[in-house]
């Protein structure tokens, strides 16, 4: 069975209480359960992870090379700052999707820049928690195309 790493970055552990007008009221645990259920429907395995630490995220991306077939990454604010995450994604050469709950392009200009965009297959943003399901469908399509 194919396997996807769904990796969440800083502050996403606070979903549900953090700026609900921007990010909604769904918690990260709720999203994790939704993804697990969707994975069963799609016939894939997932690892759902969160870290507030850039280095820990990089370690998970490196490990994904031997454990997973693709990466869905909501890197939170590191999206807009991290050359190290860019390099990690480029190094593992797995299909990757950048994901955001909010439409980052309709927000502050510092959120318009993504260091990850050049090294991912595509980007999903602005669909709230449902974006996780959309990203899983997109990843399953990529994995089927490459099988
Ligand atoms: C986010 C958007 C980022 O700009 C922000 O720093 C986050 C969450 C999103 O899911 O909309 O932490 O990645």
The dihedral built from the CA positions of residue 96, 10, 26 and 2, taken in this order, carries a sign that is: positive
The confidence score (pLDDT) of residue 147 equals 75
**Best of 15, 20, 76, 131 for a ligand 1 pocket test (most atoms within 8 Å of beta carbon):** 76
pLDDT tens sequence across 3-38: 999 999 999 999 999 999 999 999 999 999 999 999
**Best of 26, 28, 101, 115 for a ligand 1 pocket test (most atoms within 8 Å of beta carbon):** 101
**Strand-pair partners of 125:** 100
pLDDT tens sequence across 114-136: 999 999 999 999 999 999 999 99
Nearest-atom number in ligand 1 for the CA of 77 is 6
DSSP state of 20: H
Instruction: List all residues 6 or more positions away from 53 whose beta carbon is below 8 Å from its beta carbon.
Output: 10
DSSP state of 125: E
Q: State yes or no: is 112 an active-site residue.
A: no
The confidence score (pLDDT) of residue 54 equals 98
The confidence score (pLDDT) of residue 146 equals 86
The confidence score (pLDDT) of residue 35 equals 98
Name the percent of the chain lying above pLDDT 70.
100
pLDDT tens sequence across 31-57: 999 999 999 999 999 999 999 999 999
If pLDDT is split at 50, 70 and 90, which confidence band does 109 have?
very high
Q: Rounded to the nearest whole angstrom, what is the distance from the C-alpha of residue 147 to the centroid of ligand 1? A: 32
**Which token pair is 57?**
């995220």
Task: Please report the DSSP string for 31-95 in residue order.
Answer: HHHHHHHHHHHHT-EEEEEE-S-HHHHHHHHHHHHHH-SEEEEE-GGGGGT-HHHHHHHHHH---
DSSP state of 26: -
The confidence score (pLDDT) of residue 135 equals 98
Average pLDDT over all residues of the chain: 97
- Indicate if the pLDDT at residue 76 is higher than 90: yes
The confidence score (pLDDT) of residue 124 equals 98
Q: State yes or no: is 78 an active-site residue.
A: no
* Lowest-confidence pick of 23-27, 101-105, 143-147: 143-147
- Whether 5 and 49 have beta carbons less than 8 Å apart is answered as yes
Q: Rounded to the nearest whole angstrom, what is the distance from the C-alpha of residue 19 to the centroid of ligand 1? A: 11
Q: Rounded to the nearest whole angstrom, what is the distance from the C-alpha of residue 62 to the centroid of ligand 1? A: 22
128: left (phi over 0), alpha (psi -120 to 50) or beta: left
Q: Could you give the domains of the chain? A: 3-146 (3.40.50.9100)
- Whether 50 is in the pocket of ligand 1, judged by its Cβ within 6 Å, is no
């Amino acid at each position: 069975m194919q396997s996807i790493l769904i990796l969440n970055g800083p502050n996403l552990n606070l979903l549900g209480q953090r700026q609900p007008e921007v990010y909604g009221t769904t918690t990260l645990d709720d999203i994790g359960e939704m993804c697990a259920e969707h994975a069963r429907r799609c016939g894939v395995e997932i690892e759902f992870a969160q870290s507030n630490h850039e280095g820990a995220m990089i370690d998970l991306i490196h490990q994904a090379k031997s454990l997973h077939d693709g990466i869905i990454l909501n890197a939170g604010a590191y999206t807009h700052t991290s050359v190290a995450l860019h390099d990690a994604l480029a190094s593992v050469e797995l299909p990757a999707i950048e994901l955001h709950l909010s439409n980052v392009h309709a927000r502050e200009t510092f959120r318009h820049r993504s260091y990850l965009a050049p090294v991912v297959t595509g980007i999903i943003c602005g669909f709230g928690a449902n974006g996780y399901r959309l990203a899983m469908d997109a990843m399953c399509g990529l994995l089927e195309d490459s099988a």
